Structure 1
Amino acid sequence: MKHLSLILVLLLFSCKSDPKKEVLAEDGLDQSVYAIWNSYIQEHPEFKNDELPESWYFHNNKEDADRLAELTVSGKKQASSSLYSLYTIYEMDVPTVGTKRIITNFDGEAMAIIEIKSVAIVPFNEITADYAALDLGTTIEPLEKWKKAHWDFFEEFSKVSGVKPTENMLIFCEKFETIWTTK
C-alpha cells in the first residue's frame, strides 16, 4: 500500500496541469500583472503605496489584442479611443491624466504599464490623422484605417449596447505613454 501511495504521488506531480490555472491569482488576474507592477515600483518607490492599476487588453479578439499590446510595448501605439457614452451607460469613472494601467495580451499576461498624458472628448468626424496614427501605431493612411476599424467595432458593439454609431458620436480620446514593459 505504501508503494501504491508513492506511485500515485509521483504520478500527480509528473502530470502537466493547465498552465493558466497555475498563474492565476485568487482574484483571477495573471501573476504577471502583479510581477510587472512590483518590478515597476521597485524602480519607482514613490508609487509603492499606490493601488495596483486596472489591467486590461485592447480590442475584443486575440489577434487584435495581442497586436495592439505589442505596439504599446514598442511605443508605436500611444493613444486609445472609446465611445464616451459607454462611461455613462456603465456608470464608469472617466480616466484622468496620470492614471496608470497595465496592458495585457488577450490571455491576460502583462505586457506594459501606460500612463495617461491627456484626455479629450472629440466627435467621431473630427478625429485627426495625427491622433489616428497614435492610436493605430501606424502612419500609413491612419485616419482612413482608424475610421473604418472604429466604425466597424462600434457598429458591432451597438448590437449589445444599443448605441448606434453616428458621424457625431463622441469619442473619449486618451493619449498615453508606455512607462514600463516586460521586455
Structure 2
Amino acid sequence: MTPRRTPPGPLDIDAAEVLWTAYVAAHPEAVAAGDEHVVDRFGDSVELSDELLGLVRSGAKRATAELVTEFAHRGEPLPRIGAHWVACDGRGAPALVLRTVELRVATFREVDADFAFDEGEDDRSLRSWREQHRVYWERTCAARGARWSESDEIVLERFRVVWPPEHAD
C-alpha cells in the first residue's frame, strides 16, 4: 500500500514574516551578519512535512539533505552557514525558525552514518537513510521531469532550532 501523499499547502509568507520579525526583535545579534532567510518546509506532502517537523520539535532531527539540482530548479541559492529558514508544516503554517550551522556538499555514497543519525528519520541508520532518500529523490526528481542519480550532488545541512523559545535548542 502506498502511503498517503496529500499535496502540501501554499506557504503562508505573511505569517512566516510575523514569526521571523519576532525572532529578530528578540535576537538582533543573530542577524548582524545578514538577515536573509527563506520560508520552506520539509518533504513533498502534508504527511511527510508534518512527520519531519515533528522530529525537529522532538529534538531527534537536526540535519536535512537536499539535492543541489532542487535548489537550482526552485531558483534558490544554496544555503550558507549562519543563514536562517522559517520551517512550515504541511499546510504551510510557519512553525520554527532554524539556523544553518554546518554545510557540505557530497554524493549519495559520501553521506556517513553520523549524518544519517542526525537526520533523525526511521531507525537513524545509514542503511535506512539510503533506502528512504533514494525513494524520495527518485519521486521528487520524476515529478519535475528529471532523473535522480547517486552521483547527484547533495547539500548536507545541520541546523539548530532558534525560535520560538519553547522549542529552541
Say whether the fold is shared (TM-score over 0.5).
Answer: yes
Letter in 2 for 1:34: E
Gaps of 5+ in 2: 1-10
Gaps of 5+ in 1: 1-27
Q: What's 1:67 paired with?
A: 51
1:73–1:181 contact (8 Å) kept in structure 2: no
The structural deviation recorded for 1:57 is 0.8
Equivalent position to 1:181, from 153, 164, 168:
164
TM-score (norm 2): 0.78
2:15 is the alignment partner of 1:32: yes
**Residue aligning to 1:20:** none
Q: Where in structure 2 are the equivalents of 1:136-147 lying within 5 Å?
A: 136-137=120-121, 140-147=123-130
Larger helix share, 1 or 2: 1
Percentage of matched positions with identical amino acids: 21
Q: SS at the partner of 1:166? A: coil
Whichever residue aligns with residue 74 of structure 1, its letter is S
Are 2:28 and 1:80 equivalent residues in the alignment? no
1:153 to 131, 136, 141: 136
Indicate the structure (1 or 2) with the bigger Cα radius of gyration: 1
- How far, CA to CA, are the matches of 2:13 and 2:145 in structure 1? 32
Which letter does structure 1 place at the counterpart of 2:28? P
Report what 1:103 is aligned to. Answer: 87
In the TM superposition, residue 72 of structure 1 has moved relative to its aligned partner by: 1.6
**2:12, 2:94 within 8 Å by CA — same for their partners in 1?**
no
Contact 1:84 1:172 in 2 (8 A): yes
TM-score by length of 1: 0.73
- Matches of 1:41 and 1:89, distance apart in 2: 29
Aligned length: 156
Tell me if structure 2 keeps the 8 A contact 1:83–1:172.
yes
State the Cα deviation string for residues 93-139 of structure 1 (Å, max 9, x = none): 1111011000010111111110111111111012111101111356x
Aligned letter for 1:124? F
Which of 56, 60, 63 is matched with 2:40 structurally? 56
Between the aligned partners of 1:103 and 1:134, the Cα distance in structure 2 is 17
- Could you tell me which residue of structure 2 aligns to residue 172 of structure 1? 155
Matched, 1:44 2:32: no
1:134 paired to 2:101: no
Root mean square deviation of aligned Cα: 2.6
CA positional deviation for 1:89: 4.6
